[in-house]
Amino acid sequence: MLRLGWHFAVRSGREGIARLLGTAAAVAVGVAIMLCVLADFHAFSVTSGRGCWECTQGTAVAARPAAGRHAEIWNYGDDIFRGQTIERLEVASLGPDSPVPPGISRLPAAGQYYASPALAALLRSVPRDQLGDRFPGRLAGTIGDRALSGPGELVSYVGEPVSALAQLPASVEVTSIATAPATQVWSPYFRDAFVVGALAFLFPILILIGTATRLAAARREERFAALRLVGATSGQISVIAAVDAALSAVLGAAAGIGAFELVRPALAHSAVTSAHYFAADVTPPAWGYALMLGAVPAAAAVAALLSLRRVRISPLGVARRVTPAAPSAWRMLPLLAGLGLFALGMALSGSKSIGAASYPGLLLVMTGLVVGGPWLTAWAARIAPRLLPGAAPLLAGRRLADNPKGAFRSIRGLVLAVFLGTVVAGLLPAANATTATPSARSLSDVLMAQFLTAPVCGNSVNCTGGAPGDTLQSKSAAEQRIVADGLPPRAGAALVRDLERFRGAQLYPVYSLPSPARPSSGQPSSGQPGRGGPPGGYTGVVSCASVRALAVLGSCPAGARAIEADTWNLYGDNPSDTTQPIFGPADPAVHGGLGGLYLQSVLIRVRDAATLERVRTFLATHTPLSASGSAPRTFGEAVRARVEVGDTVQRLTDIAIDLTLLVAGCSLAVAIGGGLLERKRAFTLLRVSGTPGATLYRVVLLEAAFPLIAATVVAAGTAYGISVLTIDRLASKGTPLPVLGASYYLTVGAGLLVSLAVILAAMPLLRRMTAPANARFE
C-alpha cells in the first residue's frame, strides 16, 4: 500500500503532479512562515535570557576605597545619541582580581575604554564633538557578543581613576557581576504575543495544509472507489491517502525549510521587535525543524484521513456522508456574545485599567467571526443573486448556498487578518496621540537634563528599573543634597555659563528651592504642603523669561521675574505628563537672584541635530556630579521612545496581517484551483452547452468575492466598533474617533487585491480546462 500511495502521489500524470506541487507549495509557505516565527522567537528568548550585567547591584562606595580587593567601582548609566541609547559603564578596578564584565578579558585601565562594534563604528563616523568626546582616552578594544543583546547595541566600558569615580553620587562598589536574566517590563508581553502569534499562524496554516490536502479530493475519492471495487479495504485506502498526503507534506516541509534558509539572513536584519538580533540566534531550535519535518506531514496525513471520514467510499463511488446543513443564524451567537462581553469589560474599565471581561470578549469575537462566517456566506449567497443581474451571480450563489462552510473555509484567515488589522489600526493612532500631544510636539527640540536623581530609568524597552539613588543611604550630606536638589550652586552656575555660550542653543535653567527638611532615604523633598504635589515631589524655581519661552509649561503671575512651582511632572517618562502646564499665575513669585540655588535641571532648545549632540556631549563630560541615571533627552526623543513601542506593535501586527493574508491567499488559490479541478466536468458541460467563458470567470470570481466581501465588511465593522468603544472608555476626553490611516488601507487593500489576483490567476486554468475541444467525459 505504501508503494501504491507513493505511486498515486508521484506517478499520476500531470494532474497528479500539479496536485503534488500545489500541496507542497502550500505546505512550504506555511512551514517557512512558521520557521520564521520560531526563529524570531528563539532569538528573542536567547536575547531576553542573556545574563543582565547591567542589573549588577553594589554597595555604597567608601570615602576612600581600599585597594587590593576583588572589587571595583561601578557607575552605570545611559547616554543617548541621535535617539539611540548608549549603555555606559564607568569602572575602576580596586584590585588585580576585580570582576570583569562580559565581552572583555580585563577591565579597562583609567584612560581606556571598550566599545561595542556598533558604537566603535559610530565613533569613527561622526565628529568627535558630537560623540567621541564623551569617551576620553584610548579605545582599548571592542566588546564581545556575550555582553550584547544584538549587533546594533551601543555599549561602552570606560576606565576611570578610582579617586574620580568614587566621588560620583551614582557610583557603587561591586564585588560580583550579575549573571541572571533581567526582569524586563516588556518581555513577558512580547513572549505572550509571540506564543499567541505563533498559535494564530498555526490556525490558518493548518487550514492551508488541510485545504491543500483536499485538492482535487473528489477525483481522488473516485479512484479510491475504483480500488474498493477491486477489493481494497478501507484501511488500505486510508494508508494510500495518508501516504499521498504525507509525501506532499514532506516535500513541502523540505521546500519550506529551504525557503526559510534563503530568507533567514534577511530575517536577521529585519528587527521585527525593534531589536536587531545576532544572526546566529535567528534560527529555530532543532526541535523546530524536527517538528516541521515530522508533525507537518503527520498533520497532513491526519487531515487526509479526517477528510476521508466525511465521505463514504463504496465500490460504486463516493457518497458524501452528510449533506451539509444550511448554517443557522445561531452561528452568529458567539459573535454577539463576544461583543456583549467586550462591551461589559469596557463598561467596567477606567482610564488606567481594562475590565477583565474584555479579553475573553475579544477572543470570543474572533471565534464568533470564524463560526459565523458560513452563515454570512449563506446570507450573501442568497442576497447577491437578487441584487446582481445575470447568470453568473445565480450560479455562484447556488454553489455557495450548497456548501457555505466549505466556501468560507478558504477565506477565514483573511477575515481574521482584516479584523486584527482594523483593531490595531484604529487603536494605535489614538494611543500615540496621547503621547505625542501638541504640547509635547512643541517641545520636541528641547533637551532636558536633570541633575537630581531620576525616579525612573526612562521609557526603554530594556529598562532594568534600577536607579543609582537606590544605594545612596550612606552618602555624605553633600552628596545627598545633590541627589535631592541637583548640582551645587557653584558647579551649576559654571555649567549655565558654559551652556549659554553654545551657538544655536537656548538655555532655560530650573533651580531647586532650598528645603528645610530633607528625607534620609535619598528621595527628594516633598513639595510644600497644600500645593497638590505628590509625596516626594520637587519644588523648582524658574525665571519668568524661561516660562515665556516654554509657554506650554504655563505662565507667570504678572510682574514676577521668577516663579516657584512643583516640578515633579517634568521628570517623568511620559511626555503627555511631562509637558503639562506646571506653572500658573497662582504660583508664588520668587524674589531675588537665583544664582545661589542648586541647579535642578536645564531645558535647552537646540537648533539642529548637530547642536543637540554637541550639547549632549558637553553635558556628558561636564556634569560629573550629576546624580541622574538618565541621559539628557529631548521631549521629541521621549515621544519617539514611547511611540516606538506602539510602532513595534503596529509592525508586528502588520507582519502578522501580511503573513496571514499570504497564507490565506495561498488557501484561496489552492481552494479555487481545487474547486476548478473538481468541477471540470460541470464547467466543461456549461461551456459545451453554450455558456460564455466570461460567465464562468464571473462565477469563479463571485464565489470567492461574495463570502470575502460579506465577512470582511462584518469583521472590519466589528473591529472598528471595538476600537471606538475602547477609545471612548480608555482614552482621555476629547480624543477623536479613530480614523483608519493610509497604511491600513494599503495593507488590507493590498491583501484583498492579492486575493483578487489569485482568483484571476486561476482564469487561464479555467479557460484551458473548459475548452470544448478538451471535453472528455469518463
Partner 1 sequence: MKPPLIEAVDVHVSFGETPALRGASVRADSGDFLAIMGPSGSGKSTLLHCLAGIFTPDSGEVRYAGSRLDDLPDKRRTRLRRTDFGFVFQFGQLIPELSAADNIAMPLLLNGARRAAAYRQARGWLTRLELGELGGRRTGELSGGQAQRIAIARALVTAPRVLFADEPTGALDSRTGHQIMSLLIAVARAEGTAIVLVTHDSGVAGYADRVVEVADGLVRDAVAAGGVR
Chain positions contacting partner 1, by CB under 8 A: 3-4, 7-8, 11-13, 15-16, 223, 225-234, 236, 314-316, 778
Distance between CA atoms of residues 321 and 307, nearest Å: 11
C-alpha pair distances (Å), 540 with each of 201, 440, 514, 587, 597: 53, 20, 9, 11, 10
C-alpha pair distances (Å), 145 with each of 103, 118, 184, 282, 301: 6, 11, 20, 14, 43
In whole angstroms, the minimum distance from the beta carbon of 261 to partner 1 comes to 33
Type of residue found at 765: L
Name the DSSP class of 748.
Answer: H
Distance between CA atoms of residues 455 and 452, nearest Å: 9
Kindly tell me which of 220 and 614 has the beta carbon lying closer to partner 1.
220
Kindly tell me which of 7 and 561 has the beta carbon lying closer to partner 1.
7
In whole angstroms, the minimum distance from the beta carbon of 681 to partner 1 comes to 13
In whole angstroms, the minimum distance from the beta carbon of 688 to partner 1 comes to 18
- Give the CA count within 13 Å in the CB-facing half-sphere of 649: 21
Q: How many CB atoms lie within 10 A of CB 386?
A: 10
Kindly tell me which of 311 and 392 has the beta carbon lying closer to partner 1.
311
Kindly tell me which of 247 and 656 has the beta carbon lying closer to partner 1.
247
In whole angstroms, the minimum distance from the beta carbon of 676 to partner 1 comes to 18
Type of residue found at 246: A
In whole angstroms, the minimum distance from the beta carbon of 660 to partner 1 comes to 35
DSSP secondary structure, 394-445, as one string: HHHHHHHHH-HHHHHHTTHHHHHHHHHHHHHHHHHHHHHHHHS-HHHHHTTT
Distance between CA atoms of residues 465 and 78, nearest Å: 12
Kindly tell me which of 247 and 582 has the beta carbon lying closer to partner 1.
247
Kindly tell me which of 226 and 688 has the beta carbon lying closer to partner 1.
226
Q: How far apart are the first and last CA of the chain?
A: 26
In whole angstroms, the minimum distance from the beta carbon of 310 to partner 1 comes to 18
In whole angstroms, the minimum distance from the beta carbon of 425 to partner 1 comes to 48
In whole angstroms, the minimum distance from the beta carbon of 226 to partner 1 comes to 5
Those residues whose C-beta lies under 8 Å from the C-beta of residue 529, and which sit 6 or more positions away, are none
Selection from 456, 550, 568 nearest residue 507 by Cα: 550
Selection from 498, 510, 35, 83 nearest residue 282 by Cα: 35
Kindly tell me which of 316 and 742 has the beta carbon lying closer to partner 1.
316
In whole angstroms, the minimum distance from the beta carbon of 349 to partner 1 comes to 57
In whole angstroms, the minimum distance from the beta carbon of 2 to partner 1 comes to 12
- DSSP bridge pairs for 85: 80
Which three cell numbers, joined as nine digits, stand for 601? 535641571
Cα 678 to its chain centre, rounded Å, is 42
Name the DSSP class of 27.
Answer: H
Kindly tell me which of 314 and 328 has the beta carbon lying closer to partner 1.
314
Kindly tell me which of 219 and 409 has the beta carbon lying closer to partner 1.
219
In whole angstroms, the minimum distance from the beta carbon of 13 to partner 1 comes to 6
Those residues whose C-beta lies under 8 Å from the C-beta of residue 362, and which sit 6 or more positions away, are 338, 342, 722
Largest CA distance in the chain: 109
Residue-level length of the chain: 778
Kindly tell me which of 591 and 778 has the beta carbon lying closer to partner 1.
778
Kindly tell me which of 228 and 698 has the beta carbon lying closer to partner 1.
228
Kindly tell me which of 234 and 621 has the beta carbon lying closer to partner 1.
234
Distance between CA atoms of residues 550 and 566, nearest Å: 16
In whole angstroms, the minimum distance from the beta carbon of 304 to partner 1 comes to 16
DSSP secondary structure, 642-695, as one string: HHHHHHHHHHHHHHHHHHHHHHHHHHHHHHHHHHHHHTHHHHHHHHHTT--HHH
Q: What does residue 125 show for φ and ψ, rounded to 5 degrees?
A: -105, -10
Are 564 and 588 in contact by the 8 Å Cβ rule? The answer is yes
